A and B are shown apart, each in its own frame.
Chain A
Amino acid sequence: MKKSVFLGALTVAGIIAGGASAATLDEVKARGKLNCGVTTGVPGFAEPDASGVWQGFDVAVCRAVAAAVLGDGNAVEFVPTTGKTRFTALASGEIDLLARNTTWTFSRDVDLKFEFTGVNYYDGQGFMVPTELGVASAKDLDGATVCIQTGTTTELNLADFFRSNNISYEPVPIETGAEAVQQYIAGACDVYTTDASALAAQRANFEDPSAHVLLPEIVSKEPLGPLVRHGDNEWADIARWTLNALITAEELGVTSVNLEELSAGTENPEVNRLLGTEGELGSMLGLDAGWAKAALGVAGNYGEIFEKNIGAATPIGLARGLNAQWTDGGLIYSPPFR
């Protein structure tokens, strides 16, 4: 009798979980949902809100890709992953796209056989200390106890930084951001280090944010971006150019407000190509002509997504900085739509 439950569950599992094979696009279309790997909760980047709807900067990428492929930004199955499980989930085909604060590194790209489809946030590892310690530079941290959130490249950067500056430290590895913050607030560690964006996000939640400072040193390059499996170039192209569409849209001034108006046709040929009123870009990707319009229709362009989730007006309060458009002195740059 019990066996049948198992069989039934198997059937259900067979329905909801597609297989891992080359044609991810076809599978996603057949399934009608995009399986997108996200974190288990980083404020501003990916977290379920009180009503259980995933919100955040990385989540917006998932939604944009889902909209480009399926025409519906809500046709996403968000799969929470930890640092440990994310790569296996992607490699085994459990998820189609991983948008989870993942640093683009050589070994991940080459050795682990993944394909990074661009950078949606340029980050770097920073340090946060209580103001009362009077520390001005990370080089003054000799002998300090440092809380690290594990599961990232953070441990390695930290070890490198302290070794190259020939100063000692005591690492305290913590699994979740919430627990790292708990230790840091209670004074069980002097310094908390992780990506600067997460530091800013978590500091914003403190009772007294002004009692803590971010040190000026950024000890690593952390280009964070969505990634897909090696080998399915069509699918990688879709993910890459959806992200590029969000970026280009900001550069060209296409926003969620004027999207409808512009998609009727404009003087600017690149806008027309982007929005599918000119050229065949959509069909080259194997998508509708209005794919980019659909992607932009979810939450607007890159700049809008940034401002809505992590921008200066939000509790996270991040400045654009490196993540400004290249025209404004930042690094966000999309190849042309042509």
Chain B
Amino acid sequence: MTTLADPHKESFKLSMLLNDTRYRSLTFQFIALVAIIAAMAFIGGNLVRNLAEAGLNISYDFLGAQAGYDINQRLISYDSQDTHGRAAIVGLLNTLIVAFLGCITATVIGVVAGVLRLSPNWLVRKIMSFYVEIFRNVPVLIWILIIFSIMINATPAPRAFRGDNATASMWFFDSVAVTNRGVYLPKPIWGTGSMLVVGVFIASIIGIFLFRRYARKQLFDHGKMVPTLWPTIGLFFVPAILAQLVMGSPISLDYPELKGFNFTGGAQIRGSLIALWFALAIYTGAFIAENVRAGILAISKGQTEAAGALGLRPGRIMNLVVLPQALRIIIPPLISQYLNITKNSSLAIAVGYMDLTGTLGGITLLQTGRAIEAVLLLMMFYLIISLSISFIMNIYNNSMKLKER
């Protein structure tokens, strides 16, 4: 034992830093560290010099300064007297809204189109391939511009609703107006006691879930089919409507009405939001459709056949056998599509939707001239959003993964 040369006894030589694999990686990393520091010195030095030459400095004070511009769509109260910082938050919320709506809609469109691409119906299959190919192969910016133009020109202006010979009319008993400024919907007004109605409604939704779980348990444990459709519908509507009637209609609706230049009252979903939302959803939907199709095709045909042999109907085969398995394959690319929607929502600038890029990276940047600070903040915000989305979706993905035992 002792006769074997002990490597530790070997005296340390400089050449070991290069030739000995134990130390070589340390050497490389040390050199990399020096290189990083040198790069920092280079970039930082240039920045400081260039700023000094232009007589500028780095300061985030502008975030506290008065913004001076208005934003049409705002989730939190904001007017032109508020600060640039608050304007950035308003923009951030608008980004989140359009990203959230876009993700949900794109998923729905994508799943439907992906399933229909495998439909036995030739015409439907071809239309869906056409949709997928045409949207996947044309830049999203062009789609946003085209859809925005369609939206502006194909829907009537509010002034078309005016007068005796109005060329446009509202839908659903004068409660919904579709105009090229957006869609106006009735808005609920929360009177006294409305919380109770809402409470009843939430309780009935919980009831629906419990009931369905019970039905499932009955099915799995005792093989008894408990009808779920009608009880669900009943539970959904009846208690809330009863509460509304009993309490003397605490929730009333505020209908949009054409007054002056615009529809007033009701809730407005702005045209820019709709155009961007729709464009992002339909564009990304095409990609999701491909992912869904690939996921479904990856499930071996034996699964479908086995399910068919058990006597399941095609719809149930899709819902109960194929899709749950395909989901595991679909989710990872779906995460990156969600990230793409969020990132592509920064093209809002092309349709005048005031998202983060429009406020912080747009008007604020222009008015204050603080380009470096604004762009850095902008990137930081997007980075945080992206990392949060991938964090949440990865948790979901892990929970969906095949549990190997």
A residues with CB within 8 A of B = 20, 83-84, 87-88, 91-92, 107-108, 111-113, 132-133, 141-145, 150-151, 155-156, 158-160, 162-163, 169-175, 179, 182-183, 186-190, 229-231
Contact = CB atoms under 8 A, between A and B. Distances in A.
28 contacts: A91-B56, A142-B260, A143-B259, A143-B260, A143-B264, A144-B260, A150-B358, A155-B68, A156-B69, A156-B367, A158-B69, A159-B69, A163-B79, A163-B80, A169-B70, A170-B72, A172-B272, A172-B352, A173-B352, A173-B358, A183-B180, A186-B180, A187-B157, A187-B160, A187-B180, A188-B180, A188-B181, A230-B54
A159 B181 contact: no
Contacts of B72: 170-172
Contacts of A171: 69-72
B362 interface: yes
Nearest to A176: B350
B261 A141 contact: yes
Contacts of B349: 175
B149 interface: yes
Interface in B66-101: 68-72, 79-81
Contacts of B366: 83-84, 150-151
Contacts of B350: 175
Nearest to A85: B371
Say which size band chain B's interface belongs to.
35 or more
B260 to A, nearest CB: 5
B6 interface: no
B54 A156 contact: no
Contacts of B271: 188
Interface in B251-307: 259-262, 264, 271-272
Contacts of B70: 155, 158-159, 162, 169, 171
Given A20-B53, A113-B56, A87 B369 contact: yes
B195 to A, nearest CB: 30
Nearest to B71: A171
Contacts of B367: 155-156
Nearest to A86: B366
B385 interface: no
Contacts of B53: 20
4 cross-chain pairs, A with B, having the tightest CB-CB distances, nearest first: A187-B157, A159-B80, A155-B69, A144-B261
B191 interface: no
A20 B153 CA distance: 46
B55 interface: yes
Interface in B340-357: 349-350, 352, 354
Contacts of B354: 173
A299 B237 CA distance: 76
Contact of A150 (B149, B362, B369, B371): B362
A174 B262 contact: no
A144 to B, nearest CB: 4
B55 A143 contact: no
B363 interface: yes
A187 B159 contact: yes
A189 B69 CA distance: 18
B369 A111 contact: yes
B80 A144 contact: no
A141 B367 CA distance: 25
A183 B72 CA distance: 16
A175 B355 CA distance: 13
B262 to A, nearest CB: 6
B118 interface: no
Nearest to A229: B54
Contacts of A107: 369
Name the residue in B160, B349, B358, B363 with the highest tally of chain A Cβ atoms < 10 Å from its Cβ.
Answer: B363
Contacts of A112: 369
Contacts of B363: 150, 155, 173
A160 B68 contact: yes
A182 B358 CA distance: 20
Interface string B155-188: 0111110000000000000000000110000000
B55 A230 contact: yes
A169 B79 CA distance: 12
Contacts of B261: 133, 141, 143-145, 190
Nearest to B157: A187
Interface in B186-223: none
Interface in B368-401: 369, 371
B155 to A, nearest CB: 9
Contacts of B318: none
B157 A188 contact: yes
Given A171-B70, A173-B363, 20 more contacts: A20-B53, A143-B260, A143-B264, A144-B261, A155-B68, A155-B70, A156-B68, A163-B81, A169-B70, A171-B69, A172-B72, A173-B352, A173-B362, A175-B349, A186-B152, A187-B157, A188-B152, A188-B181, A188-B271, A190-B262
A189 B70 CA distance: 16
Nearest to B367: A156
B165 to A, nearest CB: 14
A116 to B, nearest CB: 15
Contacts of B149: 182
Contacts of B272: 172
A108 B354 CA distance: 24
B69 A145 contact: no
Contacts of B71: 171
A104 to B, nearest CB: 14
A21 B63 CA distance: 31
Contacts of A150: 352, 358, 362-363, 366
Interface in B120-178: 149, 152-153, 156-160
A27 to B, nearest CB: 15
Contacts of A188: 152, 157, 180-181, 271
A84 B352 contact: no
Given A170-B262, A172-B72, A173-B363, A145 B55 contact: no
B272 to A, nearest CB: 7
B339 interface: no
Interface in B317-335: none
